[in-house]
Structure 1
């Protein structure tokens, strides 16, 4: 019969099982037929004999469902969306990248302001020109999914 352990006396090891028939059965440590100790709430299988539970075994619990093998599969994760276009961002980076216009377009206002301010210095212009070219190439090689995840709203 199947049942559930209602409690176990920590001093004596005696316990009480609620059987699926609605009756309660007592058991002693000698009736526990498994290594380890019984615990409250544990599902068990046992033989009922004159109000006692004999040969009490824990019921194996099925393992939890494993997560999908590929966490990036399109069926498991929602597809991110954006109202921005990576090709437009790349063109803006190529034409006006030194001023950070592409950063404003993508919602990166702080870095856009920094690039615009740096452009007015010679050293800043030397930094923003390569940075805008790197941004352009990065937008073009980035997948649509990654672009939407990074720059989506």
Structure 2
């Protein structure tokens, strides 16, 4: 089971594990064979084992396959309803977290070394030298360096040591 903080995503994952056990604990390969929805074994495994929220289509299909096929039973409907409530609550929380992260990132302007050089009125080589000497903070995003805009002095400001 993935290490999830308490909340609807954690509760949904526990419910999926409970349904899995009640369904005889079939392997992902067996579940894949029973599903006629085209989900791969790795997607099924992810639903039980990673911190990513599975799609609602997958959760619904897992409930159907693991609780029972055929006419909807009260038990199957109860599990489906519980899973649906938890999934929608978890998805809403996930959207809130993403929106908060985007808001924070919008507040933090990042510059490339070339943009920092223009702002400082120096060459790119000077910016790279300042980075090597630790006089400018930077971090990597992929293979590129990014410098927080608030750390880049204007041409009139002296470099902080």
Answer yes or no: same fold by TM over 0.5. no
Structure with the greater alpha carbon radius of gyration? 1
Q: TM-score, normalised by structure 1?
A: 0.22
Structure with greater helix percent: 2
Q: TM-score, normalised by structure 2?
A: 0.21
Structure with greater strand percent: 1
